[in-house]
Structure 1
Amino acid sequence: MNGQHKAVVLIGDGAAESLIRTGSALQDHHDIRLAADGAAVLRLARQLPRPDLLVLDASLPGVFDLCRELKGDPDTARIGVLLTYSPDTAGPGFEADAFAAGVADVLPRPFAVETLLARAARELRLREAQALLRHQSHLVEHLVAERTRELTRMTDAVIWALATLAERRDSETPGHLHRMQHYVAALARRLQQHPRFAHELPDEHIALLFQAAPLHDIGKAAIPDAILQKPGKLTAEEFDVVKLHTVYGREAIDGVCAALGGDSTFLRFAREITYSHQERYDGSGYPEGLLGEAIPVSARLLAVADVYDALISRRVYKPAFTHETAVELIRQGSGEQFDPDVVDAMLAIEEEFQAIAQRFGDAPVPLQA
């Protein structure tokens, strides 16, 4: 997990042959513990150092009760659970019951070793991101109470470290996170007195949106490198995997809220922008297909800022568009991809957007010929 020590993976399976096979598949990459029944799983899960991941087979008697017991224990609640199962023996609603019991992912047998390794790696990355975010959130709460300039700088540094955990694995340009902060704040200030937005955009909320904006893509930490960094066009199946970054981002934030025993405005904004920034105003976005006002204000602001920055930035699959072209494409998306009032705000301050792009740019924004 940290680059020096292998992650601890506890495998629980009542079939000895299957238990050994799964252990063999993971042993080159992880520190493996084996358990042949539920009692052994509970005992080993509570031993220090605790496992980073549980790989349980659905054939274990009372496996859902076992998962609920693990999730109900503060000492083991944060351990991710990957559940393997045989489709031939799984009844209707099996996956829904598994997720309700606290399982993070399910994997049907038989599976390729590479698939198991990829699923395990994804869960471990997600847990690492959650741990980093919990640490960051504890610092944020302390900083708000103390209200000191030095601690505020420390908070921003931790948020930045967490956000770049995902960005460095993607094709985003280095200045992207800075630009996102300033675009979102500029839009919020423009809309601060608008009757549809005023309730959500007092000065203190704009400051928190500025702080939370870099976290919008933290869920990408759980997307496999082979998909995230693919230079060519993604297949439909690969794009479905990429879409899950919104879900993984929300889960990371939810994990922090659960650990803290409550929410905060900062964490609410972080949850909204990680989960809903890919929604479209006409309801055709993801992950939920939210329509219009159902999309949080923070996510509607973020969506315009994110698309503008993607358009003016060079990618492995496209050149950078001019500012004028980016603005026109966003204008054309008004009422479909974007909230019309947010687009109008962006058009009203487009020179400020261009100034932000140039100030925090990795290269000059191309000019219209």
Structure 2
Amino acid sequence: MTEHVPVLLAETVRALAGDPSGLYVDGTFGRGGHSRRLLATLDADARLIALDADEEAFRSASELAQQDARVQAVRARFSELGQHMPPGEGAAGVVLDVGVSSPQLDDAERGFSFSHDGPLDMRMDQRRDITAADWLGSASEGEIADVLRRFGEERHARRIAHRIALKRPLRTTGELRDVVMGASPTRGRDALRQTATRVFQAIRIHINDELLELDRGLDAALEALHPGGRLAVITFHSLEHRLVRQRLRDWQQGPPTPRRLPVPTAFSPLATAVGKGIRPNASEIAANPRSRSALLQVAEKVKQTGTNSADRSGVSSRRGSGAMGDGLVPSVPSTSQRLRARQGAPGGGPPPPKKKPRFGAPMEAHPV
């Protein structure tokens, strides 16, 4: 089994470990690097809920739970963490280490990497029905191009999607790699590898609904925390970085105020950012090159006052009552909703053309 080296380990634990007897949640257990270091700082009466949807990761969490009575292992997506919280109890800290792990990348059978030839799978949760090969075999050329452009930010998306459509069915990572490199107009080994990396990333994100999962997981984590509890999120590419940064801004500043409309009731922050984002230092990057794109962002939940009621203008219970609890979150569009809106939801497609307002047109005709 490949060893997974957790990134920003000391920084993450230092940001979280405020209550040595508290309840903590590791929403992306992996091989337990962050959990094990966190447990080493906690008292005997502390507790840790370790979640992961991956079968091997859950097995690793179960082994730790047998060794340490403070640990509860759960096979679930981190967006579902609210369903596994003790009733009426909040967490002192939640950690989310988002993305694919080294054991997943290095196992050819999982199909995440073009460096190892294997089945074109890419499912983080093997209970899912649709593999990358299945989707590439059934999606339209336009759908494939849209995914490569949105989630891989690949400028040659249409050209690569056309070649994929011509060459399918594709069943192995090697076949997909060869098609991508053959379709790309760029030359040079490094440039071709970067293109393949973007394409594999985009397909993986789509197959696993990663941005939607992160979008929901952030709200679930906030609701799971008790006032003063902290959320630490580690992300690895720009789409995730922006999603987390925007959500922290929404929690701290509230919904954006539409222009030309009356100012709503003052917003009481739901959470505040703790410092600035943290990047790995040079020594960590040298020891673990895969950490080079990592970014740690931390937020602390704010104690709510009477002004943050359900009928307060600008805030509503987005998830409502139920498994996730009754925590309030800003009634602003989620990042996934913003993405769908930009693509002409539902089902993707190009964004609608912007109409330039005519001089002297009524106010409601102007973009807001």
- Give the TM bin, normalised by the shorter chain: under 0.3
Asked which structure has the greater RCO (Cα within 8 Å, sep 6+), the reply is 2
Comparing both structures, which one devotes a greater share of its residues to helix?
1
How does the TM-score come out when normalised to structure 2? 0.27
